[in-house]
Structure 1
């Protein structure tokens, strides 16, 4: 039996493990530098102790998928997650959701769990009145591309993702004139 529920602060070590597993799958294990403190701060507005509230805004939401082999016995095991946050479309004049990460443990892939997580995020988007749900996919990840096409997602072929980080971000910010 599989269930999907909102993540709690107690899930932060599991979320971080899934993030690192996803980074390894996406061939960039050294790029996943997030810490438990980062996730507590940005997902739950908590200090690193996991208890003290912070005044910082919540930056993301997360769902945890759990599997229990025997409904009557034992505890559920986390087997996947979906992490998302609010976006905004100036063209629609409305907010949306951006799915940052969707991950299912290898032994549970093909079970419908990825679709169930994505469907729950889509339901949340509709509950919140969002105009769209978006995410990115690596161009070499054909199994995921095929999966997304099967559920009706459309690839934006004319739009290319851009990113600036590290020294380039610092340099650009320093070049502002006021």
Structure 2
């Protein structure tokens, strides 16, 4: 039977392994520059920026969910934003992904959040079908914008 628990600093290498596997699955390994030191500081340092759930069975960790709080001004409530959800491909079909999302929903309700949100790549049909089967709705009218690298630095310095 699998169990879900919050990760701690000792899990940094495991989390990094899952992040790299997710980057490979999403064909984004070339932009994945995370390392153990920066991940440890961001997740378990003086000001943690995100939280991680691990799902484990008798053979060890099989997947993770990395999430953080956001805020809805329209609801005047916090929300949870799921940044990454990944289950080892050999372990898929066992309900681990659903179990992680269920636990996230429980956390959102316990913390008084108004919603749980995430993004999915438009080509990732298996994940999209999975999310739809849980009752998730796509936010088709919204487009995500991003500033990074030189654009981010340039705006900050302008």
TM-score tier by shorter-chain length is: over 0.9
Shift of 1:44: 1.1
Q: Which residue of 2 aligns with 1:96?
A: 79
TM-score (norm 2): 0.97
RMSD: 0.8
Q: Per-residue displacement from partner, 1:89-129 (whole Å, max 9, x unpaired)?
A: 11111111100000000011111100000110110111111
Q: 1:64 aligns with which of 54, 76, 82?
A: 54
Q: 1:123 aligns with which of 103, 106, 110?
A: 106
Q: How many residues align?
A: 158
More helix, by proportion: 2
Unaligned runs of 5+ in 1: 46-55, 69-75
TM-score (norm 1): 0.87
Query: Between Structure 1 and Structure 2, whose CA radius of gyration is higher?
Result: 1
Runs of 4 or more above 6 Å deviation: none
Unaligned runs of 5+ in 2: none
Pick 1 or 2: higher relative contact order, CA cutoff 8 A, min separation 6. 2
